[in-house]
Amino acid sequence: MIVKHNQELWLAQRPQTGIWGGLFCFPESPTADIEPVLEGLGIREAMVASKDVEIAFRHTFSHYHLDITPIVVTLNQLPTMMMEESKGLWYNITQPEKVGLAAPVKQLIDTLQRH
């Protein structure tokens, strides 16, 4: 799920261990139901300007595949909870920070920059 406000995208830092350890990624939902994830980020329905499902794609690891269906959630205001979050950052796609990004995150950001 891609949470967007103006030209900024919300990225959460993954735990140091496991897949993409320590890298910044978009919030994830194991199903198409993204409401629990939005609520966990402090995003209320009134803050959401739009939700758009993008074209799904597959990211391949050496021994398995990860099927990704991006959902772009555009906000009309920022939730306070996310601004105070210490494990994430607002990533400006017009002035990108130098942070570690997982390969599919880079791919999605490149796609968003072309729109």
Q: State pTM to two decimals.
A: 0.82
CATH architecture of the domain 2-114 equals Alpha-Beta Complex (3.90)
Domain ranges of the chain: 2-114
Question: What pLDDT was estimated at residue 58?
Answer: 83
pLDDT tens for 74-115 read: 999 888 766 555 578 899 998 888 899 988 899 889 888 776
Least confident among 19-23, 39-43, 78-82: 78-82
**DSSP labels for the chain?**
-EEEETTEEEEEEPPSSSTTTT-EE----SSS--HHHHHHTT--GGGEEEEEE---EEEE-SS-EEEE--EEEEESS--HHHHH-SSEEEEESSS-----B-HHHHHHHHHHHH-
22 pLDDT more than 60: yes
